[in-house]
Amino acid sequence: MSNPVLETIKKRRSIVRFESTPIEKDKVEAVLEAGQWAPSFLNKQPWKFIVVTDRSNKEQLSQIVPTAFTKAVVEAPVCIAVAVDTEEDSFHFVEDGAIATQNMALAAHSLGLYSCWIGVFNLRGEKNSSEIKIKKFLDLPKAYRVISLLPIGHPLGEIPKKSRKVLEQLVYQEKFDPKRATS
């Protein structure tokens, strides 16, 4: 079966090198709107999106993220931080922020843009983690957690090929079969 949503999902790729070409304001707003419309537990919508476009701010952010993503944060014309208010939803804030991030990544791709999901959430909330440093840099209140950064732009270089396991390796009927899981 083929439809536009499935095709966008299948063709989306993570890109860590971006051209400096600016992104039109309406496309950035469309990406943010996709995050806004993500499903959330009891429709709490605990997310906030911080849009970082200033080169100096992106350079400072890039010094906090894991090394593999340094260039992505600096080079992308737009980097969106996805933060969630744990007081708004203390049980499902991680899933809610993750779904909003995925919606934005898919929307970006549907608009001819590429992104790279940088997961920064630190399960233990360790004081020296990238998440805590990013939270401090973005001046987020105490109750907020940072789920991800999403650099967005036009890809620099070739788009990587992508493969997936065959569906039969992933799907079970009615119950999990541990014997089949190891094959």
Which residues are paired to 102 by β-bridges?
none
Report the distance separating Cα 62 and Cα 43, nearest Å.
Answer: 32
Those residues with Cβ within 8 angstroms of residue 19's Cβ, 6 or more apart along the chain or in another chain: 75, 153, 154, 155, 156
R_g of the chain computed on alpha carbons: 18
Q: Looking at residue 182, what is its pLDDT?
A: 61
Those residues with Cβ within 8 angstroms of residue 144's Cβ, 6 or more apart along the chain or in another chain: 48, 83, 84, 85, 86, 135
Q: Looking at residue 160, what is its pLDDT?
A: 84
Which tokens in the block code for residue 21? 């070409």
Q: Looking at residue 179, what is its pLDDT?
A: 82
Q: Looking at residue 144, what is its pLDDT?
A: 97
Q: Looking at residue 126, what is its pLDDT?
A: 87
DSSP 33: H
- If one looks up domain 4-158 in CATH, what number appears? 3.40.109.10
Q: Looking at residue 66, what is its pLDDT?
A: 81
Question: Residue 27: how many CB atoms within 10 A of its CB?
Answer: 17
Those residues with Cβ within 8 angstroms of residue 134's Cβ, 6 or more apart along the chain or in another chain: 61, 64, 65, 81, 120, 146, 149
Positions of the chain with pLDDT under 70: 181-183
Q: Looking at residue 60, what is its pLDDT?
A: 96
Model confidence over 30-76: pLDDT tens digits?
999 999 999 999 999 999 999 999 999 999 999 999 888 999 999 99
Q: Looking at residue 181, what is its pLDDT?
A: 67
